[in-house]
Structure 1
Amino acid sequence: MTVALPPADERTVDGRRVRCRISGDGPPVVLLHGIGRTLDDFTALHAALARDHLVLVVDLPGHGGSAPLDGPHTLPALAGAVARFLDVAGVTGPAHLVGNSLGGAVAMRLAVDAPQRAASLALLNSAGFGREVTVALRLLAIRPLAPLLLRPHPGIARRSERAIFFDPAYVTEERIATALAVAGQPHAARVMLELVRDLGTWRGVKLRWRAELLDAVAALDLPTLLVWGDRDLILPATHLAYARSRLPHARRHLFRDTGHMPQIERTAEVEALLRELWA
């Protein structure tokens, strides 16, 4: 098995290497992945949307092929890095922000910190709507266990991929190889731990940042879509009900027999939901 990231483009932002893919023409769309993941989680959706949109997908700082930040990796730091990447890419006006998992929280933070950059929000199984999170992430807050759980090992990579999808057919050798390449980056464990400890504890996701962020997002009154898979083992689908209470005007959709990444398991349906929102 070749342990390498799939080919992509690069930009230089603040002197840092940023792995990205940019294609298409039309209204801009920004796709943001989850913790410990890469832009490759959006490959199929990117291709579908790029038929009539300018689509930008990027590895967050310290993830995949993007270099880490100089300072701590926190939610505001990631949002700021995305904003600077968009400047380098020439996108300074409103864009449709689409985020999965941690990427959803980054999208919300970016919209709050720079409202002029957000035309809409689409949150796919997004972080920020509940304390519950997979035990694998909670265990990373326990220092003696973190090095064991974060080491690049085929068995760990396979189990992690299996937890993400309802349909095991999506747990391909290519995805396992990408996971190993990500885990093998020299800064990967440090970045993961900084984010996990900033956003949560062994008990789960911290309330303070969630409450502040959701209050601020609700005040924006942006067109918003909330999507979840009913078989999500990372962030349970019960979070969708809470999201509905905090963002009552948002559109909502729950996919049956779908895991943590509906943009992969339900690409065409997610594309249709996005296009309805943007219309």
Structure 2
Amino acid sequence: MTLALPPAEELTVAGRRMRCRIDGHGTTVVLLHGIGRTLEDFAAVHAGLARDHRVLSVDLPGHGGSAPLDDPHTLPALAAAVAGFLDAAGVTGPAHLVGNSMGGAVAMRLAADAPERAASLVLVNSAGFGKEVTFALRLLAVRPLARLLLRPHPAVARRSERAIFHDPAYVTEARIATALAAARQPHAARVMLELVRSLGTWRGVRPEWRAELLDTVAALDLPTLVVWGDRDLILPAAHLSFARSRLPTAQGHLFRDTGHMPQIERAAEFEALVRRFWSPSGAAAPA
């Protein structure tokens, strides 16, 4: 197993490298991955949308091939880094912000802090809509266990990938190798712990940041699509109902027999769904 991140580009943002892919021409789309993940989680959708959009995928600071921040890694810090990345990439107008898991919360934070950057939100099994989260992430808030649990190991990487997908066929050797390569970066464990502890405790996701963020996003009244996989083991599908109650103008869609990453397990359907959402009629498929 070759433990290396797949080839990608790099931009220098505030003196730090940010690993990214930028392709295509047209309306700008920004794809944001989840905690401990990389831009590879959006590879298929990136390629599909780049046929007629300008698509930017990026490793968030301290993830994959992007350098860590000097300050603690928090949701506002990641959102600010994405804003800097967009500036470095020459994005001057609003973009469609698409985020999976923690990436959804980063997209919402960016829209809340800089509304002029957001044309719409697509929130994919997004953090921010409930207290419940997988036990594995809650354990990382327990200091004596955290370092032990974050030691890179092929068996741990395989088990983590298996928890993400409903269909085990998606747990490929290439995905396991990418996960291990990202976990073996010298700063990876520190960044993960900073984020986990800023977002939650062993009891679950903290309510304070969720309430403030959702109030702010709801007030923006941005076009928003919230999608979920009904077999998500990381953030339960029940969060979709809460999301639609907190963002009453949002559209919603539930993918059947799908885990935490519909953009991978249902790549073609996901791409078609967001294209309909972004169309002039703005109507995605019914939930």
State the TM bucket, normalised to the shorter chain.
Answer: over 0.9
Cα distance in structure 2, aligned partners of 1:224 and 1:244: 10
- CA deviations 1:79-134 (Å, max 9, x no partner) are 00000000000002100000000000000000000000000000000000000000
Cα distance in structure 2, aligned partners of 1:50 and 1:167: 26
Kindly state the Cα deviation for residue 272 of structure 1 after the two structures are TM-superposed. 1.1
2:36 corresponds to which residue?
36
Kindly state the Cα deviation for residue 148 of structure 1 after the two structures are TM-superposed. 1.1
- CA deviations 1:157-193 (Å, max 9, x no partner) are 0000000000000000000001110110000000000
Cα distance in structure 1, aligned partners of 2:147 and 2:29: 36
Corresponding position: 1:66 with 2:57: no
Cα distance in structure 2, aligned partners of 1:160 and 1:198: 21
User: Quick one: which amino acid aligns to residue 147 of structure 1?
Assistant: R
Cα distance in structure 1, aligned partners of 2:259 and 2:206: 23
Matches within 5 A, 1:185-196: 185-196=185-196
Identity %: 81
Matches within 5 A, 1:225-240: 225-240=225-240
Cα distance in structure 2, aligned partners of 1:219 and 1:253: 22
Cα distance in structure 2, aligned partners of 1:159 and 1:81: 30
Superposition TM-score, scaled by structure 1 size: 1.00
Cα distance in structure 1, aligned partners of 2:92 and 2:270: 26
2:177 corresponds to which residue?
177
Cα distance in structure 2, aligned partners of 1:273 and 1:251: 11
User: Quick one: which amino acid aligns to residue 15 of structure 1?
Assistant: G
Corresponding position: 1:101 with 2:101: yes
2:252 corresponds to which residue?
252
Equivalent position SS for 1:166: coil
Corresponding position: 1:223 with 2:230: no
- Which segments of structure 1 move beyond 2 Å, counting only runs of 4 or more? none
Aligned residues between the structures: 279
- CA deviations 1:170-217 (Å, max 9, x no partner) are 000000001110110000000000000000000000000000000000
User: Quick one: which amino acid aligns to residue 277 of structure 1?
Assistant: F
Superposition TM-score, scaled by structure 2 size: 0.97
Instruction: Provide the aligned C-alpha RMSD in A.
Output: 0.4
User: Quick one: which amino acid aligns to residue 166 of structure 1?
Assistant: H
- CA deviations 1:194-242 (Å, max 9, x no partner) are 0000000000000000000000000000000000000000000000010
Kindly state the Cα deviation for residue 273 of structure 1 after the two structures are TM-superposed. 1.3
Kindly state the Cα deviation for residue 277 of structure 1 after the two structures are TM-superposed. 1.3
Cα distance in structure 1, aligned partners of 2:223 and 2:235: 23
Unaligned runs of 5+ in 1: none
User: Quick one: which amino acid aligns to residue 229 of structure 1?
Assistant: G
- CA deviations 1:27-72 (Å, max 9, x no partner) are 0000000000000000000000000000000000000000000100
1:241 corresponds to which residue?
241
Kindly state the Cα deviation for residue 138 of structure 1 after the two structures are TM-superposed. 0.2
Unaligned runs of 5+ in 2: 280-287
